[in-house]
Amino acid sequence: LERDQTLELDKHLIKKDARKRIICIEGNIASGKTTCLDYFAQTTSIEVLKEPLSKWRNVRGHNILGLMYQDASRWGITLQTYVQLTMLEQHTRPMISPIRMMERSIHSAKHVFVENLYRSGKMPEVDYAVLSEWFDWIQNNTDVSVDLIVYLQTSPKVCYERLKTRCREEEKVIPLEYLEAIHELYEEWLIKRALFEVSCPVLVIGADHDMQKMIEKYEENRDQILNPPN
């Protein structure tokens, strides 16, 4: 479809129900979230919010993403405290379009990344408790709800290969085991439902394929993604 045609199509989709909707794109590191967000940014008029990575790399001059990968036991809590703040800021920002698509969420930050630090013994229980208190307060007192989670499901090995080719400086030290641990937590949270409550529908899209095939999949799932069931 040409861009103009797809924009028309979206107008039609959006008009059907004027309710505001928030869609989160979730998945392991290098699962292809950026490609997905770019695709919808280029072919729709919806609001697309990228993960605030640049902020994590520069908090008043400090690269806490880099620090965390150098020494997770020391800096994990620092990064995750700031991730939680930046995610809260994204969730609560006034919407400029009826549909918002976000890269990850405050929920995966807590249920996947913080959980992983805690479980792997890199975050003391007391830090985990304080972050959890913050998270619970945020959940009870602000609106960080989500209408649909799109889970880009990958195998950790594929993510590992992509990670090596993209060569982001901070991520050079990431071993396969780390991606396996993140993968396991995503599966527990969104597929096995063994960990935390999931209070919205989850659309699972296999994402081990190359970029062209992934774009085809986004096209196939376009209606479902832009018009999540209630």
Residues identified as active-site: 103
Position of minimal CB gap to ligand DCP = 34
Q: Could you give the angle at the alpha carbon of 32 between the alpha carbons of 169 and 54, nearest 5°?
A: 45
In single-letter form, the type of residue at position 152 comes to L
Least separation in angstroms between CB 211 and ligand DCP = 11
Supply the minimum distance, in Å, between the C-beta of residue 114 and ligand DCP.
7
Among positions 99-118, residues that touch ligand DCP (CB under 6 A) are 104, 109, 113
| Residue located via tokens 């009826």 | 98
Q: Toward ligand DCP, which CB reaches closer, 30 or 148? A: 30
Q: Based on CB atoms, which residue is closest to ligand DCP, 32 or 98?
A: 32
Report d(CA 72, CA 203) in Å as an integer: 31
x/- contact string, 21-50, with ligand DCP (CB under 6 A)?
A: ------x-xxxxxx----------------
171 binds ligand DCP (CB under 6 A): yes
Say whether residue 53 binds ligand DCP (CB under 6 A).
yes
Identify whether the C-beta of residue 52 lies closer than 8 Å to the C-beta of residue 154: no
Measured between alpha carbons, how far apart are the two ends of the chain, in Å? Answer: 28
Q: How far apart are the C-alpha atoms of 160 and 188, rounded to whole Å?
A: 20
The two beta strands, 148-153 and 21-27, are parallel
Number of residues forming the site for ligand DCP (CB under 6 A): 17
Site string for ligand DCP, 186-205 (x = CB under 6 A): --------------------
Interface with ligand DCP, residue 77, by CB under 6 A? no
Characterize 181-220 residue by residue with b for buried, 16 or more Cβ atoms within 10 angstroms of its Cβ, and e for exposed: bbbebbbbbbeeeeeeeeebebeebebbeeeeebbebbee
Contact residues toward ligand DCP (CB under 6 A) are 27, 29-34, 51, 53, 65, 68, 79, 83, 104, 109, 113, 171
